[in-house]
Amino acid sequence: MAAAPSTYELVRRTPPLLYRWLGDRIFAVLVTLFGLTVMGLAISLAVVLFWEGSEAIKTFGFWGFLIGTTWDPALTLTFGTFPFLIGTVVTSVAALALSFFPALAVAIFSAEYAPRWLSHIIDALVDLIAAVPSVVVGIWGIFVLAPWLRDHFYLPLYMWAAESRPELLPIIGSPMGYGMTTAVIVLALMIVPFTAALSRDAIRLVPKAQREACWALGATRWEVIRMAVLPYARSGIVAGAILSFGRAIGETMAVAMLIGNKNTLPFDLFGPAATMPSVIINEFREAVENLHLSSLMAIGFYLFLISLIVNLLAAYIQRKMMVAGGRSA
Amino acid sequence: MNQQHQPRRSFLKTKLVAAAAATLIFLGLGAGSALAQRTDILGAGATFPAPLVTAMADEYRTKTGGRVTVNYQSIGSGGGIRQFIEQTVMFGMSEAFLSDQIMADIEQRTGGAAFNLPITLADVVPTYNLPGVKKGLVFDGDLLVDLFLGKIKRWNDPRIAELNPGLRLPPLPVTIVHRSDGSGTTNVWTSYLTRVSDEWAKKVGYATSVNWPTGVGGNGNEGVAGVVMNTPGALGYNSLSYAILSDISYGYVVNAAGNTIEPSYAATTAAADIDLPADTRVLFTNTPAPDGYPAAGFAWMLVYQNLDQNRAIANRAQAEELLKFLIWAIRDGQELSESLGFARLPQAAIDLNFEMIRQITWQDEKLGEKVLREMQR
Amino acid sequence: MTAFNGNTTKTGSAALATPVLSLGRRYWRDRLMLGLLASSTILVLVPLFIVIAYVVVQGIGALNWDFFTQELGSPTRAHTGQPTGLVHTIIGTLVVDSMALIIAVPLGIGAGVMLAEYPDHRLNPLLRLLNDTLNGMPAILKGMLAFALIVKPMGTFSGLAGAVALTFVMLPIIARATESALDIIPWSIREAGLALGLPRWRVILSTIIPAAKVGLVTGILIAFARAAGEAAPLLFTSFGNNYLPSRWTGWLFGPVDTLPQRLYSLAISPYKQWHEMGWAAGIVLLVMVILLFITARVTVRRA
């Protein structure tokens, strides 16, 4: 390990017991304080959102707001978040499903197959994806990606369905190019670096002995990866997927620009839809009515709850996997 | 976020500060610009008038030799109103005037009114993408309502042909494109549709965002423009300047007097040439003015009547500089309008603005009156 | 996650249970996987190149000397060919982003250390949960939180508030990445350190963190990259400015301009010259991030 030579130095000037004991205490308190800060931030965000959204929650009821399907900021001032809830869940799950294997593939390729110089380039480029501002992706999507997808995928598929499978048309929806599928594709691209980066580092740090044992058994390269590397790197991979999922749930600008923003159910495959963050960013700046703004904040609060539930679920899955995988301690 | 009870600031302290500031200003005037204090004025709000206001600010900065810097940021009309109420900005800007309730709240909290000063006009035009058809397709109110309600589904509908004799319209399906983000543009557009149609008023209504019966939402002017330009058969709406500067085809609209109006900055100014109420809080979409373009409205600057009650304004000197800028923007700043794609204020609105500015005070001193008199000299 | 779980366990056990594949087929499968992995990599990277190419083509024309030395002023300047640029925006971005890094890195690593090095800490499951939840909240809401915590008490928009808002974006990513980077370090190393009589905190600071530095740096970079491109949380915090602040304290305590926010407001304006400047701002932003990537990685490898 990198720090091995300095260890001797450290041992030589081992300080007295009291110092060590106190040092450990102070360190633990400090670290806990940092942890508490993060927790405090999350909780205060929830409190602020609840506070600002309480008017809407009071008006429509806790469940009423959640399952309400009308979003009318003009005439009746009725607000319900159900369509956006569906939109958020569908797009982020689909985006994670779409991006997970490519992202993992990038990580494996970079860590296991690519020569050093190439893997450096790949790593930097993948991280760079995270740095492209949402707005840039969004505008590029409007002017380049959406029209291209429409002409090469949506329209041909729509034409084919119209001729031979008319019963599919309601599911496919209008092939304008601005809608759910386009948003999912862009989202999938944007969350790749989170899974890829964490998986890659986890794979790199798998001990040599682990691989060598497998090589010695006569395994091919792929078999080494599958049987020795991936199980060991699992926690990093899962952490990456969770980060990705978080990003997918919370991603706002690019989705808002590409999803077509339709505030009523039902949604279809290619047609416009909306997500909770996209509604917030869309209407936040211009919301004049108090109840309208309060409803947007309430969406934020529900998003917090949903995010909480999803992450609880993820933690549960992760723990189950840990038991099955059994990381050597 | 918006109910903050503001304790009246300590009287003595403000007086001292004001006195000090006044002395400084006096000294500054006496010693010329070298000693003059630099003043930063902060404003925020509507996105649409932002280019005009920043241009005014830049011009004003040059004019004052860099002494007064106005920093205006576009955070949206709703944001402008809220920051104005929160008192984090010296002036707000909005494409919707303050509601009666907000006006009453402010009256109660600060002991003075909130003034809505029109600074420019917003105009919204129908934009479309029809292969072979350039600008100038004629619409009227009822036709636009039925298009945006999704009742008319094809471009070769006889009702469109009726208004555009001699034009060969393709049998393309109509794709409605609307703003998905809340915007003053949507406010003006839907208020126009509301004014011409009871059905629209009952089904949709008007606001900065509405529950659209049909169509796809684009984010921002550029989002709508992008979708329109990339989708044959699309019909959307954009601000006139955006349509002109981005080279999108836009239509002419028949107004309440029955005249077909080609959208232009002059026609927009003409739309406001009506009897305005003293506080200028009025929507004049579907204007009765015979030469007025029917989908237009004011964008307002928001200021407190009692400037000392706005926590964002630290002293009398700042208040005075703010007033000077406001007056300059309303009077001289209008020269910048056309070159940037904005319509000028009609004279009637300018007069009403000055009437309101006269009532603006700093700690019971009629500061607005004084500054206006100085500047008119 | 579910898909991955099911998949590996299934294929893993299947491979172990059926070792009857011929050598030729195993090699063939090896090749196939290599092909799949390589083409996935290309698939992921191609859109990035297209986006970057698009940004460069749109914006390169506006990158000139004035762009780096002049203030924005107004659209009239761009219209009439007067000097206009984004010097205040570039400096503002550097100031706000580096402040955010300074706050977020120790906090995030600290929280990550708590998760990884004190695995029995009673608060850990809650911390992990809340951290991941915070990560999933839209950035605009994090900006709102910073507005409530900083702007409202201070009574004014400030670069500091913007930095705090960006901290909220970076923190959960750094914490999570730190945890997974430290997790990988075998416990035997810690035990070795402890057995030598080192206090735990020295083991962590002098052995574990240096050993995990590649992962830590990756986490920080990716968090930074993410935050650097966010416009929404800055709207109500650092607010924006068309000029350089009149005093140097203005960078911290006054409204400050930043690249992503300026990019957005230039891109939605109706003026062609401003669109071009917006894309140029995008180029500068990307170059800044790339430079940081390279320096950070080179330093990590050198050390």
In this predicted structure, the answer to whether residue C126 has a pLDDT above a threshold of 60 is yes
Tabulate helix, strand, coil % of chain B (nearest 5): 45, 20, 35
Res A328: pLDDT: 39
Residues B242-277: tens digit of each pLDDT: 888 778 889 999 988 888 888 888 888 888 888 888
| DSSP H helices in B282-342 | 316-331, 337-340
- Quick check: A31 and C113 CB within 8 A? yes
B340 with C255: Cβ contact below 8 A: no
- Complete edge-to-edge strand list for the sheet that includes strand B138-139: B138-139, B252-254, B260-261
Quick check: A252 contacting C, CB < 8 Å? yes
The yes or no reply on domain A53-328 and CATH 1.10.3720.10 is: yes
Residues in Cβ contact with A143 at an 8 Å cutoff, skipping those fewer than 6 apart: B226, B230
**What local confidence, expressed as pLDDT, does residue A216 receive?**
82
- Tell me the backbone φ, ψ of residue B127, rounded to 5 degrees: -115, 145
CA dist., res. A137 & res. A152, Å (int) = 20
Sequence-distant (≥ 6) Cβ neighbours of residue B304 within 8 angstroms: B106, B110, B112, B114, B115, B310
| % of chain C residues with pLDDT over 90 | 16
Q: Could you give the count of Cα atoms lying within 13 Å of B368 in the half-sphere of its Cβ?
A: 19
**CB-based contacts of C47-55 (< 8 A; 24+ apart in sequence):** C47/A189, C48/A125, C48/A128, C48/A129, C48/A132, C48/A189, C50/A140, C50/A144, C51/A132, C51/A136, C51/A137, C51/A140, C52/A132, C52/C286, C54/A140, C54/A144, C55/A136, C55/A140, C55/C279, C55/C282, C55/C283, C55/C286
> Would the pLDDT of A162 be above 60?
yes
Two tokens at B272? 């406001």
Contacts with C242 from chain B: Cβ below 8 Å = 54, 57-58, 71-72
Question: What span, in angstroms and rounded, lies between the C-alpha atoms of B122 and B241?
Answer: 9
Q: What is the DSSP string of B91-112?
A: EEEESSPPPHHHHHHHHHHHSS
pLDDT at A322: 60
Pick the more confident residue, C3 or C125: C125
The band of C4, judged by pLDDT with boundaries at 50, 70 and 90, is very low
Q: Cβ B69–C235 below 8 Å, yes or no?
A: no
Contact B210 A74 (CB under 8 A): yes
Between B287 and A159, the higher pLDDT residue: B287
pLDDT at B148: 92
Q: Is B152 helix (H, G, I), strand (E, B) or coil?
A: coil
The two structure tokens encoding residue C118: 């004190």
Q: In chain A, where are the structural domains located?
A: 53-328
Q: Phi and psi for A228 in degrees, rounded to 5?
A: -110, -40
CB interface of A with C, residues 191-250, below 8 Å: 192-194, 196-198, 200-202, 204-207, 220-223, 225-227, 230-231, 233-243, 245-247, 249-250
Q: How far is B184 from chain A (nearest CA, A)?
A: 8
Task: Return the partners of chain A (3 or more C-beta pairs < 8 Å).
Answer: B, C
pLDDT per residue over C31-77, tens digit each? 888 888 888 888 888 888 888 899 899 888 888 888 898 888 777 78
Would you call A256 and B219 a contact, using CB atoms and an 8 Å cutoff?
A: yes
Residue pLDDT, tens place only, C220-238 = 988 888 888 888 888 888 8
> What is the per-residue pLDDT for C14?
44
Helices (H), chain A: 4-12, 17-60, 62-67, 82-108, 116-131, 134-140, 146-149, 155-164, 169-172, 180-204, 208-216, 221-224, 230-250, 253-258, 276-284, 290-325
Tens of pLDDT, residues A271-304: 778 888 888 887 777 777 778 888 888 888 888 8
Q: Is A300 on the interface with B (CB under 8 A)?
A: no
> What rounded mean pLDDT belongs to chain A?
80
Q: What is the pLDDT of residues C264-301, one digit of tens each?
A: 888 777 788 888 888 899 899 888 888 888 888 788 77
Residue type, A123: D
Whether A75 sits inside 8 A of B209 (CB atoms) is no
Q: Nearest C-alpha of chain A: how many angstroms from C81?
A: 26
Q: What is the pLDDT of residue C166?
A: 94
Residue type, B341: G
Residue C97: its pLDDT value, please?
92
Say what the pLDDT of residue C233 is. 87
The residue among A149, A186, A285 with the most chain B CBs within 10 A of its CB, best to mutate, is A285
Q: Please answer yes or no on whether C231 and A134 come within 8 Å at the CB atom.
A: yes
Which of A74, A174, A285 comes nearest B76 by C-beta? A285
Q: Which residues of chain A from 140 to 199 reach within 8 Å of chain C, CB to CB?
A: 140, 144, 189, 192-194, 196-198
Q: What is the mean pLDDT of residues A232-236?
A: 78
- How does the average pLDDT of chain B come out, rounded? 83
Task: Grade residue C13 by pLDDT with cuts at 50, 70 and 90.
Answer: very low
For residue B216, give the nearest of A260, A283, A290 by CB distance.
Answer: A260
- Distances A66 to A60, A83, A281, A298, B216 between C-alpha atoms, Å: 9, 9, 19, 9, 24
A325, pLDDT greater than 80: no
Closest CB to C74 among B55, B87, B241? B55
* CB within 8 Å of A215: residues ≥ 6 apart: A224
* A50 reaches B (C-beta below 8 A): no
What is the pLDDT at residue C19? 57
Exposed/middle/buried for residue C75 (C-beta within 10 Å: 0-12, 13-18, 19+): buried
Best of C54, C93, C121, C141 to substitute, by most chain A Cβ atoms within 10 angstroms, is: C141
- Which of B149, B180, B186, B198 should be substituted to probe chain A, the one whose Cβ sees the most A Cβ atoms within 10 Å? B180
Chain C contact for A279 (CB, 8 A cutoff): no
Lowest mean pLDDT among A197-211, B316-330, C250-264: A197-211
Angle A22-A25-A31 from CA coordinates, rounded to 5° = 140
Q: Do A71 and B47 touch (CB under 8 A)?
A: no
| Cβ atoms < 10 Å from Cβ of C110 | 23
- pLDDT of B74 reads 81
pLDDT in tens, chain B (377 residues): 444 444 444 444 444 445 555 444 444 443 334 335 788 888 988 888 888 888 888 888 888 888 888 888 888 888 888 889 888 889 999 888 888 888 898 888 888 888 999 999 888 999 998 888 888 889 988 899 999 998 888 888 888 888 888 888 888 888 899 887 778 888 889 999 999 988 998 888 888 888 888 888 777 777 788 788 888 888 999 888 888 877 888 999 998 888 888 888 888 888 888 888 888 888 888 888 888 899 888 889 999 988 888 888 888 888 888 999 999 999 888 888 888 888 898 888 898 888 898 888 888 888 888 888 888 77
> What average pLDDT does the segment A24-35 reach?
88
